[in-house]
Chain A
Amino acid sequence: MATKPRQHGEAKRIGLIKASLILGSLIASLLGVRMLVDQEVAPPAVVAANGENLQAAPVAPSQVQVAPVAPSQVQISPVIPRQVPMAPVTRSRSS
């Protein structure tokens, strides 16, 4: 059975749409691969003259704890009280 011209034109348009979809999909997948490749690029290896790989290992948090600076034993400024006393233990006065 011979196809009608109208049916032929519609089939051609559908074919073009399919082709463009396939092409777009192909371009998108290529770009996606490229982006993945960009992400997975490793830093260049650092190789010593003897062939040893000197690539730095990932930096781990320091295990060395820096101790707080000990306060001076000499304290000439008044000490901030932890509690207000009921009364002094003694007094300074002229003598």
Chain B
Amino acid sequence: MNDSYTWPSISFRAMGSDFGLWLDADPVLAGGAFDRAVAMIDTLEKRMSRFIAASELTQLNESNGRPAAVSPGLYEVVRRAVEMARQTRGFFDPTLLDDLSRVGYDRSLDRLEPDGGALPAPIPNRVRRGWEGIDFSPDPPTITLPEGVRLDLGGIGKGYTAQVIANFLGEYGPCLVNAGGDIVAGEAPDGYAGWPVTVAAPLHGLDSPEGDILGLWLRNAALATSGVDRRRWLRAGQTYHHLIDPLTGLPASSGLITVSVLHEDGPHAEALATAALVAGVAEGIDLIEAAGAGGLLVTDEGHYHLAGAMRQDGLWQLPVVGVQDEDGVAYYEY
């Protein structure tokens, strides 16, 4: 992205997303670490993907209310997901897979038809707050899903992966991991206050600097973004997206288009970002600040709000934004 930086890095596709790894270390050492990290990501994808028929998650989702023996890794990420559901008062909900499939996201995005036709009928007696009934038994790790409850770990899984890989690469030196927009940083690279990262404006890609909203030096922290500006598809001429409101079972319509969260932990940041996006501006800021995190919330009218740690100095005040309307509210035009 920037040729002036000389840190060894690697970029690739995994989990249906763009991944990037950076390591402030000798290039030969970094190359070996990257090889192992890529293999770890492949293992994590085969464990947590709902699109892989033989994945551990698929097998768990087919357990139909029976106890299922799982790996310690899957046990951990499901336990974290349920913990985040509780902490966000259910705005983050990992048990919405059936709702997501019903609105059309029943296969990986690159396999969806241009317009999948009319939606099937609503799910009768739809289970709400299914996460409350999940049972955990640690030794050996066993998870029991209530009947009719199936898990989607798509979002939190990437935050979890970014954290696991950052922990691994951190053994070799200062590192940075970007797992489809969910970023986790280790120690700062030599000579810098942190890793220079930005939050991309809605609809902007990884390589469009004109779309940066703000930047910060990230060190021993995570920065995750959830949004409804991507993973969209058509059904019967209507656009849908992948962030489901647990109350309605339909794509969330909270007035927010993206939420970015700064937190010390990758999966926590990702789940908080999703919860805040579903909850809307007021409750979203409340959730973020109650967790001691920082947030950047962008509305579908182009206004943005800073919450918690994001309010502090140290953010780059990027010149491409900072526009203010007549009420003095900063906004970004996209």
Which residues does A use to contact B, with CB under 8 Å?
Answer: 73-95
- B20 contacts which chain A residues (CB < 8 A)? 90
Task: A51 to B188: give the CA distance in the assembly, Å.
Answer: 63
- B316 contacts which chain A residues (CB < 8 A)? 81, 84-85
- Given A79-B194, A80-B314, A89-B176, 4 further pairs, Cβ under 8 A: A79-B188, A79-B193, A91-B178, A92-B197
- B294 contacts which chain A residues (CB < 8 A)? 76-78
| B131 on the A face (CB < 8 A) | no
Whether the Cβ atoms of B258 and A75 lie closer than 8 Å is: no
Whether the Cβ atoms of B229 and A94 lie closer than 8 Å is: yes
| B267 on the A face (CB < 8 A) | no
Q: What is the size, in residues, of chain B's interface with A at 8 Å between Cβ atoms?
A: 63
- A88 contacts which chain B residues (CB < 8 A)? 1-2, 196-198, 209, 212, 215
In the complex with contacts A89-B176, A90-B178, A92-B183, A78-B2 CB distance below 8 A: no
Which one of B26-34, B60-68, B216-224 is at the interface? B216-224
Whether the Cβ atoms of B212 and A91 lie closer than 8 Å is: yes
Whether the Cβ atoms of B314 and A77 lie closer than 8 Å is: yes
| B161 on the A face (CB < 8 A) | no
Nearest B residue to A74, CB-CB: B264
Whether the Cβ atoms of B223 and A92 lie closer than 8 Å is: yes
CB distance from B1 to the nearest CB of A (A): 6
- B178 contacts which chain A residues (CB < 8 A)? 90-92
CB distance from B272 to the nearest CB of A (A): 11
CB distance from B177 to the nearest CB of A (A): 9
Whether the Cβ atoms of B264 and A76 lie closer than 8 Å is: yes
Instruction: Provide a sorted-by-A list of 16 A–B residue pairs whose CB atoms are within 8 angstroms.
Output: A75-B194, A76-B221, A77-B309, A80-B217, A80-B313, A81-B314, A87-B2, A88-B215, A90-B1, A91-B181, A92-B178, A92-B200, A94-B181, A94-B229, A95-B180, A95-B182
Whether the Cβ atoms of A87 and B258 lie closer than 8 Å is: no
- A94 contacts which chain B residues (CB < 8 A)? 181, 202, 225-231, 258
- B225 contacts which chain A residues (CB < 8 A)? 92-95
CB distance from A79 to the nearest CB of B (A): 4
Task: A76 to B204: give the CA distance in the assembly, Å.
Answer: 25
Task: A81 to B292: give the CA distance in the assembly, Å.
Answer: 22
| B82 on the A face (CB < 8 A) | no
- A79 contacts which chain B residues (CB < 8 A)? 188, 193-194, 216-219, 314
- A73 contacts which chain B residues (CB < 8 A)? 220
- A90 contacts which chain B residues (CB < 8 A)? 1, 20, 22, 176, 178, 183, 195, 197, 206
- A74 contacts which chain B residues (CB < 8 A)? 220-221, 264
Whether the Cβ atoms of A75 and B198 lie closer than 8 Å is: no
Whether the Cβ atoms of B193 and A87 lie closer than 8 Å is: no
Of A73, A74, A80, A90, most buried by chain B (CB within 10 Å of CB) is A90
CB distance from B129 to the nearest CB of A (A): 25
Whether the Cβ atoms of A87 and B204 lie closer than 8 Å is: no
Whether the Cβ atoms of A93 and B227 lie closer than 8 Å is: yes
| B5 on the A face (CB < 8 A) | yes
| Residues 263-281 (chain B) with a chain A CB within 8 angstroms | 263-264
- A91 contacts which chain B residues (CB < 8 A)? 1, 178, 181, 197-200, 206, 212
Whether the Cβ atoms of A95 and B158 lie closer than 8 Å is: yes
Contact of B181 among A75, A85, A95 (CB under 8 A): A95
CB distance from B299 to the nearest CB of A (A): 14
In the complex with contacts A79-B219, A94-B230, A86-B312 CB distance below 8 A: no
Whether the Cβ atoms of B215 and A93 lie closer than 8 Å is: no
Bitwise interface map of B from 37 to 68 toward A, beta carbon under 8 Å scored 1, else 0: 00000000000000000000000000000000
Bitwise interface map of B from 1 to 17 toward A, beta carbon under 8 Å scored 1, else 0: 11011010000000001
| B315 on the A face (CB < 8 A) | yes
Task: A50 to B201: give the CA distance in the assembly, Å.
Answer: 82
